Structure 1
Amino acid sequence: MNIGERRYVRASDRRLAEVATQALARIDMQALRHRRSEAAGVTTERSHDGTVVSATCVIECSLKEMHALLVPPTSERYACVMRELVGPDFIYGAIVHHAEDIVDQNVTVKTATFVKRHMLARNEQWCFVSAAKALEPSEGNQVVGFTVALASLHPDDVFIGKAQTASVIHLQGLSAVYLVTPEEPKTQQDGRMKRAVRVTLCAHVGTTPSSNRTPPFPFRWLLPTARNREETDDASNGAVLARVVQLARALKQFQVVVRRRRLDAQVLADLRKVQPTNTRCVCCTRRVDAARSMFGTSKRGSAEDATMARGSKRCKLCGFVVCARCVCTIGKNSLSGETCETSNKSIKYSQAVHLCEHCMQRVDDADYDNFCASNDGLSPSGGLVQPDTPDTEPASAVIARALSQVLGDASKEEKPVVIRVIKHLLSPSQEDKSKFRANSAELAKSLGRLAEEQGFAEEMPHPARTEAPEVTPVPEVTPETPSSPVDGDTPPLAGCSGGGG
């Protein structure tokens, strides 16, 4: 930690890593790796020191995508993921500390506040440490997974990101671990490989001894003096167990969160500017009236046609109208997060997104391992983006070289398109509006040489040159030698406007 930087947790980074390691030791990892059945759902087992809750689910994504969701880099991204998983039960959460002194694993301290279970209860708060670590590779298997260990912290050890003490109860004695391992890729009908990961959650809820302390009055938080009290109340074992079961059932929601993150890489169409031109569904070719799908249904037609027209949606990527049978809705049952909409750029968490089957297939088939827009400026490896070195090739030279290669390899039909791109970059209107790192003058010089080599320099636009107005020379006046009237001229008298009287 840098000198002068404020610390918002009491424990040291080394102690936080030890707490996460102790939580991982409570889980039987060997038995967890052999859990393969999803049909069992959420299982609850009693043990001598508490209750063990486990669940597993297969998510169609890559290891890096799942790592970006379970180990979010910012509080905004963490809140968005939790809101998609838990829904309206999630109130607030934040990442209050990053353990920079621990290099072999990613250790952070987080908080989460949940809605109360019934009217007479209080909201629940969870302060915990999270530690993500890669699994050791086994013999013959180079692609390994990772684990994310979670362990409860005492609320007095966390200084920010919490609610008022009197309004919440704290989830204590909770240890959990996410085990993420890759599945065997499946070959689709078109020959493409489908990647997937298996996510297994195992949580241990310890038995809280109730004989060591006197149980508090159950409704004392309603008293006027309870708002300013400082002592904390721990949640009962039943409340902690109910919250853990909710998190276990939310494993299937990771598929929705994955697709939400993939939408960050897409540019959604502005449906107000793009008008649909198709009269039939682009997927199943059923007739769909674009006007009726936008403004409602008519009284004529069968009930099936009316249902199809009412349920038809417009694809947010291609803009075409899709019938109700072929539309794919992402995040239909999830709550729209206002904090996610305002604090993150390009995050499509604000509402349900409708896509056609063709666009949905293209979104799912793309490779998002190198996509780091959701990591808020972090590279896929987890490090900060570093500036270019002084000996790095200028951006203008890189653009010119890339366009030269594309133009050289382009066919007769593709060359006009490349030339159009070069014209667009050299147009005078782009000189002032350019937001690239490339130098406009250097880029214009490089592309100008490229145009001369390819023989279309005459077609390139030339920026208008503004000529400076002609300036009339002013005769010099030497102050040391005042001007005298020429012989034969009579100087005008003071007060006269012209020459002779």
Structure 2
Amino acid sequence: MMLSGDAGALFASASPRAMDMLKTAGLDGPSRLFTTQDCCSIPRMAPTTAVATRKLLVSDEELRRRVESVQVTTDFNNALANVSLHGWKWKSDCRAFSVFTRSTANGSGATVADAQVLAMGTVSGARALEKLVSLLRTPNESDFNAVMQEIHKRDFIYGSLVHAIPSDSSMLGDGSLLTVKTCSFVRSKRFSHKKNEQMCYIEQFRPTKDGFAVVFTSLPQHEVLVGKASGKHVGELCPFRGWILVEKAPESKASVRVLFHASLDPEFVAADKSSGLGLCSAKTTAAHLHRLAKGICRLGEVLHQQRRRDSSNRKAGSYKHDLRQVSSDISNSHCVACTSKFDLLRRRRRCGLCAYNACAKCCYREPMIIYNRYAATIQFCARCRECMVGGEYPHLRLAARRHSSPGIETPFTTTR
């Protein structure tokens, strides 16, 4: 059975069990939309209306329309039967998951190999459903980066949460969350001269009767004004779409079934115009979607590591045992602003706000006034500069100075 955006009654009102699931995971309110790294003592928060600027060229209504147009299967058994009937080819087995791919013909009649990818499997363990909610419903940027780093390891560079629209508690109150995110990955072929890969996309978390779904669809880079990696080291992926469906397994109370599907946008494949838009090739995008599927296959391993850390922290008497807690000893191998790889000739500098490393060209040092009281020279990366310009660090403002770092033209504002 397929569910379109117009027939979304299943997702329109979550069951009481789904709401309890969100509360157990600590994700039932909008207060977690903006947080700060634990190693940074200057809070980052949602900008006020007076200083907030629109970070997208697309309205919230258009964002919802696009993501709700993605068709999602709601019948696990039917999906399993369709694997053998609709041309899916087995690709690999990874832990408790199996990965399948399917080719698609483009407008010129040529075949785009592995344009669709499907991963299915089970995740076991106590409270597996609630744990997966806390992993995959990432309402703030620090959680998003930590989770992606856990799932994709060194393939993942950095990501930004550009925009968030929580559900209106006065209306549905179903715990759904729509976000716009960007993230950069190391190129698929490590030793090639190709660029690193960047994806901008809309993501919607939807509680369901027996679990939840995460639906995503790509967003063109030119419609996203901030949060993107810049420079010659990164390329934009072709349009894509997909979803993740998670629900409790009927045969076991301690297991959940996970179904992941992603594909190149059918309309884009039919038009066959990736070369004229300066995008990565369809082959590169298909390889990237396969990497996303392999990351989904690691969900069970990530939960197992989380339980081990929780157990160790409880024995040590520690109360900070969140998987997504960011250590102050972050050692990323690529610049979070331009995605260039650090080497002997490209020096790295640590951002004083997000604690990630950036190259010298993407770092600034500025005398700042903190809380309208203290003065200090702070080193920050280009991404955190965008957050300051957007009003997400209201306790910071530029101090009077003789000269400024290059590229800073927009005045920082603060709430007095």
Aligned to 1:42: 99
Distance in 1 (CA, whole Å) between partners of 2:182 and 2:305 is 23
| TM-score normalised to structure 2 length | 0.53
Q: Is residue 60 of structure 1 aligned with residue 124 of structure 2?
A: yes
- Give the 3-state SS of the residue equivalent to 1:342 in structure 2: coil
CA 35–210 in structure 1, closer or farther in 2 if over 3 Å, else same: closer
Aligned counterpart in structure 1 of residue 327 of structure 2, from 341, 351, 355 = 341
Aligned to 2:248: 182
Q: Is residue 94 of structure 1 aligned with residue 153 of structure 2?
A: no
Q: Is the 8 A contact 1:56 1:199 kept in 2?
A: yes
Distance in 2 (CA, whole Å) between partners of 1:255 and 1:213 is 38
Q: Which runs of 5+ in 1 are unaligned?
A: 138-143, 187-193, 217-231, 270-315, 319-335, 351-501
CA 196–213 in structure 1, closer or farther in 2 if over 3 Å, else same: closer
Determine which structure has more spread, i.e. the larger CA radius of gyration: 1
Distance in 2 (CA, whole Å) between partners of 1:134 and 1:32 is 20
CA 342–234 in structure 1, closer or farther in 2 if over 3 Å, else same: same
Aligned to 2:142: 76
Counterpart amino acid of residue 133 in structure 1:
R
Distance in 2 (CA, whole Å) between partners of 1:183 and 1:214 is 40
Tell me by how many angstroms 1:92 deviates: 0.7
Distance in 2 (CA, whole Å) between partners of 1:75 and 1:59 is 25
Distance in 1 (CA, whole Å) between partners of 2:274 and 2:237 is 19
Q: Is the 8 A contact 1:76 1:343 kept in 2?
A: no
Aligned to 1:206: 265
Q: Is the 8 A contact 1:59 1:254 kept in 2?
A: yes
| TM-score normalised to structure 1 length | 0.44
Distance in 2 (CA, whole Å) between partners of 1:111 and 1:266 is 33
Q: Is the 8 A contact 2:241 2:263 kept in 1?
A: yes
Q: Is the 8 A contact 1:130 1:151 kept in 2?
A: yes
Q: Is the 8 A contact 1:153 1:172 kept in 2?
A: no
Tell me by how many angstroms 1:120 deviates: 1.1
Aligned to 2:219: 153
Aligned to 1:13: 60
Counterpart amino acid of residue 160 in structure 2:
A
Distance in 1 (CA, whole Å) between partners of 2:158 and 2:274 is 31
Q: Structure 1 or 2: larger helix share?
A: 1
Q: Which runs of 5+ in 2 are unaligned?
A: 1-46, 84-92, 107-111, 318-322, 333-416
Q: Is the 8 A contact 2:187 2:197 kept in 1?
A: yes
Q: Is residue 253 of structure 1 aligned with residue 298 of structure 2?
A: yes
Q: Is the 8 A contact 2:264 2:286 kept in 1?
A: yes
Q: Structure 1 or 2: larger strand share?
A: 2
CA 106–215 in structure 1, closer or farther in 2 if over 3 Å, else same: closer
Distance in 1 (CA, whole Å) between partners of 2:271 and 2:160 is 34
- Give the 3-state SS of the residue equivalent to 1:99 in structure 2: strand
Distance in 2 (CA, whole Å) between partners of 1:42 and 1:6 is 42
Counterpart amino acid of residue 120 in structure 1:
H
Counterpart amino acid of residue 123 in structure 2:
I
Q: Is the 8 A contact 1:55 1:201 kept in 2?
A: yes
Aligned to 2:343: none
Counterpart amino acid of residue 179 in structure 2:
T
Aligned counterpart in structure 1 of residue 182 of structure 2, from 111, 115, 119 = 111
Q: Is the 8 A contact 2:245 2:259 kept in 1?
A: yes
Tell me by how many angstroms 1:48 deviates: 5.6
CA 108–256 in structure 1, closer or farther in 2 if over 3 Å, else same: same
Aligned to 2:400: none
Counterpart amino acid of residue 200 in structure 2:
C
Matches within 5 A, 1:367-406: none
Q: Is the 8 A contact 1:122 1:169 kept in 2?
A: yes
Tell me by how many angstroms 1:128 deviates: 0.6
Aligned to 1:163: 229
Q: Is the 8 A contact 2:238 2:274 kept in 1?
A: no
- Give the 3-state SS of the residue equivalent to 2:285 in structure 1: helix
Matches within 5 A, 1:410-489: none
- Give the 3-state SS of the residue equivalent to 1:180 in structure 2: strand
* Backbone CA RMSD of aligned residues: 3.6
Identical-pair percentage: 24
Q: Is the 8 A contact 2:177 2:205 kept in 1?
A: yes
Aligned counterpart in structure 2 of residue 244 of structure 1, from 273, 284, 289 = 289
Distance in 2 (CA, whole Å) between partners of 1:257 and 1:57 is 15
How many residue pairs are counted as aligned between the two chains? 251
- Give the 3-state SS of the residue equivalent to 1:121 in structure 2: coil
CA 209–48 in structure 1, closer or farther in 2 if over 3 Å, else same: closer
Deviations 1:394-433 (A, max 9, x none): xxxxxxxxxxxxxxxxxxxxxxxxxxxxxxxxxxxxxxxx
Tell me by how many angstroms 1:114 deviates: 0.5
Deviations 1:464-493 (A, max 9, x none): xxxxxxxxxxxxxxxxxxxxxxxxxxxxxx
- Give the 3-state SS of the residue equivalent to 1:132 in structure 2: strand
Tell me by how many angstroms 1:261 deviates: 3.4
Counterpart amino acid of residue 123 in structure 1:
N
Q: Is the 8 A contact 2:199 2:218 kept in 1?
A: yes
Distance in 2 (CA, whole Å) between partners of 1:7 and 1:263 is 42
Tell me by how many angstroms 1:53 deviates: 1.1
Q: Which has the higher contact order (CA 8 A, sep 6+)?
A: 2
